[in-house]
């Protein structure tokens, strides 16, 4: 396996870090990984390790304000900044591998970015994979009044910092994964800016209005014990049934690719099989 690191220019002149993992053989296709809130590209390594032996290449960048990329921590003007950053990244990847099909895989906040990207640019993707979908980011624990007040405040004090209230124990049932998450210096999960939070809440709530327009094949993977993103049934009913595959996992938490070994193998096996069948 070959590992590559680099930078590219996102929108508004922000420099963004990326890394890539390529098989020793010529890759048969590429996956662009889109990580979640407060996370970074390196936390998708279990997906990388599952797909490299199948001769898939994997590219992923750290979002602005995340990981090793530039920008204020956990701040974005609006979700479209993330989408257009990914568009710039797509062009970087496509320039390097002009003859290969490209899939996009989004987890958590990254799944929203992936859905919005696919709504605009379906023609450029072989398919998308979304992990942990729903319409309520933060689950059912964030009161509507708090979201409404946050939206108003984001307009007057967008960079104001507040606690996320995120419980790391809800990401996975694997205590080692939780421990690594808490101690990871590139993970900033305790606080976020008001604008970031408001943008995420709104983008998830609006997903049912846009996902029916997506034309490429979709794989949906969801841990049914996920408390971080809820509203799964509403999202599921909004998807166009043409070439949508649902894989649901009883008892699994939010980060299904970082769950306990036996369960993770099942999830990654389903992902691998779907990719092979959609080449």
Burial class (CB in 10 A: 0-12, 13-18, 19+), 16: buried
Q: Which of 35, 69, 203, 226 is catalytic?
A: 226
d(CA 193, CA 278): 39
Q: What angle do CA 192, 259, 239 make, to 5 degrees?
A: 70
Range of the domain at 238: 2-277
Rg over alpha carbons for the chain, rounded to the nearest Å, is: 17
**CATH code of residue 132:** 3.40.50.1820
d(CA 60, CA 210): 24
d(CA 231, CA 222): 11
d(CA 195, CA 153): 8
pLDDT of residue 161: 82
Q: Which residue has the tokens 């694997």?
A: 174
The string of pLDDT tens digits covering residues 116-158 is 999 999 999 999 999 999 999 987 666 554 555 555 565 655 6
Q: What angle do CA 196, 201, 205 make, to 5 degrees?
A: 150
Instruction: Determine whether 213 is an active site residue.
Output: no
For each of the chain's 279 residues, which pLDDT tens digit applies?
Answer: 999 999 999 999 999 999 999 999 999 999 999 999 999 999 999 999 999 999 999 999 999 999 999 999 999 999 999 999 999 999 999 999 999 999 999 999 999 999 999 999 999 999 999 999 999 998 766 655 455 555 556 565 567 788 888 999 999 999 999 999 999 999 999 999 989 989 999 999 999 999 988 999 999 999 999 999 999 999 999 987 779 999 999 999 999 999 999 999 999 999 999 999 999
d(CA 67, CA 73): 9
Of 192, 196, 214, give the one whose Cα is nearest residue 77.
Answer: 196
**Total domain count, the chain:** 1
Instruction: Determine whether 226 is an active site residue.
Output: yes
pLDDT of residue 148: 53
Annotate the chain with DSSP letters as a single string: -EEEEEEEE-GGG-EEEEEEEE-SSPPSEEEEEE--TT--GGGGHHHHHHHGGGTEEEEEEPPTTSTTSSSSTT--S-HHHHHHHHHHHHHHHHHH-TTS-EEEEEETHHHHHHHHHHHHHGGG-SEEEEES--SEETGGGS-HHHHHHHHHHHHH-TT-EEE----GGGS-S-HHHHHHHHH-TT---SEEEHHHHHHHHHHHHTHHHHGGG--S-EEEEEETT--SEE-HHHHHHHS-STTEEEEEETT--S-GGGS-HHHHHHHHHHHHHHHHHT-
Burial class (CB in 10 A: 0-12, 13-18, 19+), 245: middle
Q: Which of 40, 63, 188, 254 is catalytic?
A: 254
Q: Which of 39, 41, 69, 108 is catalytic?
A: 108
Instruction: Determine whether 163 is an active site residue.
Output: no
């Amino acid at each position: 396996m070959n590992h590559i690191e680099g930078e590219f220019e996102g929108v508004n002149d922000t420099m963004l870090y990326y890394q890539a993992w390529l098989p020793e053989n010529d890759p048969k296709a590429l996956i662009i990984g889109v990580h979640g809130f407060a996370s970074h590209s390196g936390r998708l390594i279990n997906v990388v390790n599952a797909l490299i032996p199948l001769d898939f290449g994997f590219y992923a960048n750290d979002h602005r304000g995340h990981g090793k990329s530039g920008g204020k921590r956990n701040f974005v003007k609006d979700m479209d900044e993330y989408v257009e950053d990914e568009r710039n990244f797509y062009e970087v990847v496509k320039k390097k591998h002009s003859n290969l099909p490209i899939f996009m895989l989004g987890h958590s906040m990254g799944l929203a970015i992936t859905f919005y990207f696919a709504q605009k640019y379906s023609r450029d993707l072989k398919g998308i994979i979304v992990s942990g979908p729903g319409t309520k980011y933060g689950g059912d624990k964030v009161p509507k009044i708090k979201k409404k007040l946050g939206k108003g405040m984001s307009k007057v004090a967008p960079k104001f910092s507040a606690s996320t209230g995120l419980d790391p124990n809800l990401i996975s049932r694997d205590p080692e994964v939780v421990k690594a998450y808490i101690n990871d210096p590139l993970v900033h999960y305790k606080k976020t800016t008001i604008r970031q939070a408001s943008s995420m809440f709104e983008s998830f709530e609006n997903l049912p209005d846009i996902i029916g327009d997506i034309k490429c094949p979709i794989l949906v993977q969801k841990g049914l014990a996920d408390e971080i993103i809820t509203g799964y049934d509403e999202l599921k009913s909004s998807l166009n049934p043409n070439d949508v595959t649902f894989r649901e996992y009883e008892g699994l938490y939010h980060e299904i690719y970082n769950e306990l070994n036996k369960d993770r193998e099942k999830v990654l096996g389903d992902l691998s099989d779907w990719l092979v069948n959609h080449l």
